[in-house]
A = this chain, B = another copy of it.
Amino acid sequence: MSNPQILFRHTTFHGPSLLRNKRSTIRGNTLRTQLEQLRTTGRYHCFKLKWHPAYDEDFPLTWPVPTNLFWDSDVAKWIEGACYFLFEEYDAEIDSAVQELVNDIRSAQQEDGYLNVHFTVVAPNDRWTNLRDMHELYNAGHLIEAALAHHQYYKNDLLLEPINKYVNLIRSTFGPSKDQKHGYPGHPEIELALLRLYSVTGHDDAYELARYFIEERGNPRGQDGMNYFDWEEKQRGDSPWLRPNHYTKAGSHWYNQAHEPILQQKSVEGHAVRAMYLLTAVADLLCIHKPGGEFSEPEKWAEAVGRLWDNMVQKKMYLTGGIGAIEQWEGFGVDYFLPQGTDEGGCYAETCASIGVMMLAERLLQRDLNSKYADVMELCLYNGVMTAMDLQGKAFTYVNQLASSDRHPSQRCDWFWCACCPPNLLRLFGSLGGYVWDFGCGEGDAFINVHLYTWAKCTFDAGEGGNSITLEQKSNWPWEGNILFQLQAPLSVSTTVRLRIPGWAEGNFTLTPSFSGHKVENGYLVLPPSYTSSHPNFSITIGGFSPRYITPHPYTGQRTLALAKGPIVYCVEDFDNPYETNHFKDVVISADSAIEEEQTVLEGHQESYVKLTTVGWRREGIEEPSPSVGPGCACFNSEQLGRERKLVFVPYYLRANRGGKGQMRVGLLRK
C-alpha cells in the first residue's frame, strides 16, 4: 500500500488525453508562472529571513492572519509540485530554483529546530500561542510534504534532515505529557504529512504525533479541563468574542472541526479544506498497519470517516464535486444547502476543497474499494478541480461557483494573496498518476485497481527476479467509454485487474473478450488471474456516455437540471448564448428535450471537447415585480415561457476561457 505521491512515478501519460494536456500545460506554463509569482510577491526569498514590506501591511479582512502567514506553505507546495514534474522532464531552471529554496530553508532553521518564517522574522515571541488561527502547524505539514517529494527526486536529505529535526521539536512540544501542550492544528494538514513521513522513513515519532493530533482533536477537557483553543485563548488573555471574521460566533470551533472529538461528529462541518485534510489523515491512519500503534478502535474511526463522507457527498456536495456553500467560513452549510451563486445565498466550492475530496477519496479507496469513492474523485478532478485553471495554465480560481452574478462574474485571477489553490493544482497534477490506479505485488499475486480511465501506462515491480508488470490503457476518455488494455505480467504472477464501473454507467459495460463468470464487486469489475492471463489484451466499453440530465437532491430546493456526459458536468456561458443578460437565472430547460453532441476544437489550442446543444425557454415577466405586489402573489402562479431558443453547453472546466461577459450557470430551471 502506498500513496499517490509515491505511486505516481510508476505512471506515464504517454498518449493523447485531456489529463495529459492539462499536465503538459502545467509543466510547461504553470510551474514557471507560479515560480514567477513566488519571486515577485516576496515568497521566493522569504526563508532568507529578511524583512519584507508585506510584513508591515495591515490585514483587516483576515485578522489575525497576516497576508504573509502562508508563504512557507506556498513555497513548500511549489517545491513539492516541482519535484513531481522534474521526474518527468528535467528542467534546469526549476531544478536550480528548488535547490536555492532548499538552501534557504535549511539556513532559516533555528537552533532548536524551529522553522517558520513569520514566527522567526515578524513575531518571534508568539510561537505556538495561537494554533487555532495561525497556520503554524499547517506550514510545517507542507514543509514535510515538500521534504518527502524533494527526498524522492533528489535522493538526498538536504530538506528532509532539517524537517525531521523540526518534527522532533514539534513532537516534543505537543503530546499527552504534563509538560507538553495538548494542542493540535487549527488548520489540519500536518497530520497527513506526518503519516506519509512515517510511511516513507519509518519515523515513529511522526506517526505518534499524527495520531495524537487526531485523537486529541476536539477534546472538551484537553488542557486544564478546557478545549485546547479555549485554553490558549485564555493564555493569550483574549476574550472569546475576539475572533477572526470567519468565526461566526465565539467558540465556533466547528469551524476547524474541533467542537467535539472526531469520533462523535455526526456531520461534516466548518472549513471544507480543513475537514478534507483532517479526514484524509484519519483515513490514512486506518490504512497504516503499525504493529501496536493503530487506533484502539479502528472500526469506530472507520465508521466516523464513512459517516462524514456520506454526509458530505449526499447532502453537502455540488453537482461539480465542489464543497462548501458558505463564503464566511469557506465551508459547509446545513444539509442540502447548496445555492448555486452568491446572489442566492452562497456558493464557495474552493478549489483546494475539491482537491482535498480527491485526497480523501483516494485514501478511502485503499481501505474500502468501492466505486462510490472513485466516482466522486473523478467528478472532482474533471469539474470542481479542473475548472480552477485556464487553458494557458496561467490564471486560477479560488472559488468555483455554479452560477455567476453581477457581483461575482465567472472569471479567473493570476494569483491570490492567499495562494493555496494554484500550487495545490500543481502538486495534484504532478502526482496525478497516483490517482489513476493503485497496484501491488506480493508472493506471486498482483493486483491493479483502475480508478480512472485515460491514456496511460503503469509499470511496477513484480517481485523477485527483476520482472515487472505493465498495464497500459488507451482511450478517448472522458469523451468516449471504450478503453483498450494491454497487460504484461510474468506468468509466475497471478494478476487481478479491477475496473471501475462508474455509477452513471448504471451497470452498462461490455468486456471484450467477454467473460461469462465476471462479477462486479462494489462497483469494480473483477478480472481474475484466469482471465488476465489468457486475455492480456482486453477492452471495456463503459456505457452512459450519451449526454444526460442530472439534478441535485430535491431537498436542496433546487428544481434544476444540469447536463452531463460521462464524468463531465456542463455549464452555459454567455459566450455561446450571447443574448443572455441575467446569468441564465430565468432560463428553463426540459429533461424531455433531445441533446445534440458536437466534437469541437478550441481555436488556438490543441484541445478538443464535446459541445452539447439543447433548447430552452426564458421565464418572462418576473424580473421586475410591480410595486403593488406583496410578498405572496397569485400572479406568480403561472410562469410564462418565451420562445424556444437554442442553448449551447460547454464543460464546466472550460468556463471563462473564451471571452464573454462572465455569465455562467450549471443548473438551469427544470420545466
Contacts and interface: CB of A to CB of B under 8 A. Distances in A.
A362 to B, nearest CB: 16
A360 to B, nearest CB: 14
Interface string A352-384: 000000000000000000011001100100000
Residue in A336, A372, A630 with the greatest tally of chain B CB atoms within 10 Å: A630
Given A241-B242, A337-B345, A554 B639 contact: yes
A630 B313 contact: yes
A318 interface: yes
Contacts of A333: 345
A630 B372 contact: yes
Contacts of A627: 310, 314, 372
A143 interface: no
A660 interface: no
Interface in A480-534: 503-504, 523
Contacts of A634: 504, 548-551
B636 A553 contact: yes
B337 A503 contact: no
A413 interface: no
A250 B245 CA distance: 6
A269 to B, nearest CB: 14
Contacts of A629: 314, 503
A264 B15 CA distance: 60
Contact of A591 (B523, B549, B564, B637): B637
Contact of A551 (B242, B335, B633): B633
B503 A630 contact: yes
A552 to B, nearest CB: 6
A430 interface: no
A559 interface: yes
Given A249-B328, A313-B630, A558 B555 contact: no
29 contacts: A63-B239, A63-B240, A63-B241, A241-B243, A245-B250, A248-B328, A249-B328, A310-B627, A314-B625, A317-B631, A319-B632, A337-B345, A375-B630, A376-B630, A376-B631, A379-B631, A523-B628, A549-B634, A549-B637, A550-B633, A550-B634, A551-B633, A551-B634, A551-B637, A552-B631, A553-B622, A553-B625, A554-B639, A555-B622
Interface of A: 60, 63-64, 239-245, 248-251, 310, 313-314, 317-319, 321, 328, 333-337, 339, 342-345, 371-372, 375-376, 379, 503-504, 523, 548-555, 557-559, 562, 564, 569, 585, 591, 619, 622, 625, 627-634, 636-637, 639
